[in-house]
Amino acid sequence: MSSANNLLDVSSSYMSFDDYPFRVYSACKQDDDVALVIVHGMMEHGKRYFEFAKFLQDNNVSTYILDLPGHGETGDFNKDFGHMDDEGWSHAVGCVDELVRSISNSKKNIFIYGHSMGSFLAMKVGLTNSLIKGIVLSGMTYPPIVSLRVGRVLTDICKLVNPKLSGWVFHKLTFLLCENSFKKDTSKFAWLSSDKAKVEEYSSDKYCGKLCTVGFYNQLFKGVHSVIDFVPCRKVNTYILSSLDDPMGGYGRGPKMWAKCIAKKWGSKLNFVEYRGRHELINEIDRKNVYNDILNWIKRSRRT
């Protein structure tokens, strides 16, 4: 991956949560006083964020990125790629939380960034872990509660046959609108970004865009539902990036619904910014503007 080669001073290792190993990539300097934990989305992996991490590294922000359970090298290592067992969502939350706690001794101001599925994990950890100073969220969607409940019931039934059955039906129901939103583009992944090079990187990546199991979707539906119902016990500065051309987020409706929810339930200080971009704003053509906006918000929030 070309962007991976641009990242200097990155190290990788395995950490463990509840005897479950997961891959971590670290790009940090001892004198940085800010750290950003990056939580990727569904069926991608941490190395896709190396270009963003290089920008942050050049601006004195340390980054820590993990491959979530069932994803990337973590999925390969544990032989569960594309799958989550009955504790999968809890393991995902635990892995992120464990990573945050592992860097707490560095005395850095810790922020967390979550994209798409990762935004739900970032919210759950950010609202329960007092070490986190601020949350950045992108690629957000606000699925109907009824859809999540139906999905849970159907996947519970499918799991009785085999939890590792292909979840292609649930994939179609989740992504059909997205994959047909930009018919003038040749790739079914065009909804991710208007940068064709980034879309091509994704489509040729062995860890991206693969089908998940019914067990995975079962955990996804339950996990997302739990975050929507969650009543936080602490206030955290939050920055929402809304993509106006993102079909997954309802072309900006999903992030707005989350903004209302956060303002009502969390009582946290909220910054909400809209961009003319598709699902992955940090992989858009004008991504450097997004990078700078995130960096500036982190620097401002660090002082509050």
The Cβ of residue 220 has, within 10 Å, a number of other Cβ atoms equal to: 25
pLDDT tens-digit series, residues 10-45 = 899 999 999 999 999 999 988 999 999 999 999 999
What's the distance, CA 93 to chain centroid?
12
pTM over 0.85: yes
Position 2 scores a pLDDT of 44
β strands within the chain, DSSP E = 11-17, 20-27, 34-39, 61-66, 109-115, 132-138, 237-243, 270-275
- Do the bridges between strand 34-39 and strand 61-66 make them parallel or antiparallel, or are there none, so unpaired? parallel
The Cβ of residue 234 has, within 10 Å, a number of other Cβ atoms equal to: 13
Structure tokens at 82: 């594309």
Tell me which of 3.10.200.10, 1.10.1040.10, 3.30.565.10, 3.40.50.1820 is the CATH number of domain 2-144+231-302: 3.40.50.1820
Position 1 scores a pLDDT of 47
Position 6 scores a pLDDT of 59
The Cβ of residue 257 has, within 10 Å, a number of other Cβ atoms equal to: 16
Closest CA to 178 of 243, 98, 265: 243
DSSP secondary structure letters along 155-212: HHHHHHH-TTSB-HHHHHHHHHHHHTS-TTSSSTTGGG-S-HHHHHHHHT-TTSS---
Q: Give the span between the Cα atoms of 266 and 261, in whole angstroms.
A: 8
The mean pLDDT values, 10 residues at a time, for the chain of 304 residues are 58 96 94 96 97 95 97 97 96 98 90 98 95 96 95 97 97 94 92 97 97 98 94 88 97 95 81 97 97 97 80
Position 208 scores a pLDDT of 98
Q: Give the span between the Cα atoms of 152 and 175, in whole angstroms.
A: 17
* Residue 45 Cα distances to 66, 132, 259, angstroms: 8, 22, 26
Strand partners, 38: 65, 113
Position 3 scores a pLDDT of 46
Strand partners, 110: 35, 132
- Do the bridges between strand 34-39 and strand 20-27 make them parallel or antiparallel, or are there none, so unpaired? unpaired
- Do the bridges between strand 11-17 and strand 20-27 make them parallel or antiparallel, or are there none, so unpaired? antiparallel
* Residue 137, φ and ψ in degrees, nearest 5: -125, 135
Structure tokens at 237: 């500065």
